[in-house]
């Protein structure tokens, strides 16, 4: 048995930009240990495994190099790109069943729109050692999103976010299994409404290049703070990525592009 595999840069249309994901098409899911081992072998922040369930309906699972996660935006965008452009080009709508619930992907004239649930953050008291390991700068607000288990740390300006140099040796020692990742963010005074970065050493990812799932927390926060339903966000990692976001009552619509830069197949079971 062979498995089609696609390597995709999500939230970009270029080499060396956006966030990388492997998309593996399966008829049946192999053992979880095999899924995890292959994700570790690829070494990307996420590997997506996709199984067809019916007409326009697929099951999707996401694995970091260390764990399976409940929700991933960039690997869902990558999977939708593969399906829309390589497997079912005649379709304009895909339903993904996942641990994060039912997710929709819509083909648009320019890119793909993901329809995800929102995960609004609430204020929380955070570990002082963890905050110091992130930055010596004082945080304006600290919040937590229950479903994605993301800690949100808000700083006073974009330059503070851009210049952060977290001490991952300390963050790894402070590993809190209730926290999946840490999103740092600030308002932007230029092209974007806000910028962010995302750290998840607990999942084997020191810094994630572009994190779609974190926008389910960040966009409701910034939408409420700025009084906007449409937002432009920028993830200020080395690779960088742009989000175009629209908020509805309890959903977030994230539009982005993706670039398939390699396709092939695994020649035998893994």
Active site residues: 46
Q: Are 185 and 153 in contact (CB under 8 A)?
A: yes
**Closest listed residue to residue 176, CA positions, set 130, 218, 207:** 130
At residue 81's C-alpha, the angle toward residues 255 and 67, to 5°, is 90
Q: Write phi, then psi, for 132 (nearest 5 degrees).
A: -70, -30
Nearest to 185 by CA among 166, 158, 209: 158
Which ranges constitute the DSSP H helices of the chain? 32-42, 73-82, 128-134, 158-163, 168-173, 215-226
Contact (CB, 8 A) for 215 and 73: yes
Give 87's DSSP letter. I
Bridge partners (DSSP) of residue 24 are: 5, 49
């Amino acid at each position: 048995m062979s498995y089609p595999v696609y390597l995709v840069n999500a939230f970009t249309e270029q080499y060396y930009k956006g966030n990388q994901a492997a998309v593996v098409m399966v008829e049946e899911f192999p053992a979880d240990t095999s899924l995890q081992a292959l994700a570790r072998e690829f070494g990307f922040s996420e590997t997506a495994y996709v199984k067809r369930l019916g007409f326009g309906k697929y099951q999707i699972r996401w694995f970091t190099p260390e764990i399976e996660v409940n929700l991933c935006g960039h690997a869902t965008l990558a999977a939708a790109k593969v399906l829309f452009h390589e497997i079912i080009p005649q379709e304009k709508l895909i339903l993904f069943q996942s641990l994060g619930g039912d997710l929709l992907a819509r083909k648009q004239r320019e890119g793909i729109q993901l329809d995800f649930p929102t995960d609004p953050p609430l204020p929380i008291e955070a570990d002082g050692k963890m905050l110091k390991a992130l930055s010596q700068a004082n945080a304006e607000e600290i919040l937590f999103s229950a479903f994605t288990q993301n800690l949100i740390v808000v700083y006073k300006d974009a330059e503070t976010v851009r210049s952060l140099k977290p001490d991952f040796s300390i963050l790894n020692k402070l590993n809190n299994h209730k926290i999946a990742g840490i999103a740092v963010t600030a308002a932007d005074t230029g092209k974007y409404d806000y910028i962010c970065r995302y750290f998840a050493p607990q999942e084997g990812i020191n810094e994630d290049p572009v994190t779609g799932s974190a926008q389910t927390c960040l966009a409701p926060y910034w939408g409420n703070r700025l009084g906007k339903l449409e937002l432009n966000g920028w993830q200020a990692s080395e690779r960088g990525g742009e989000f175009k976001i629209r908020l509805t009552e309890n959903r977030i619509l994230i539009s982005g592009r993706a670039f398939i830069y390699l396709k092939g197949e695994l020649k035998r079971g893994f």
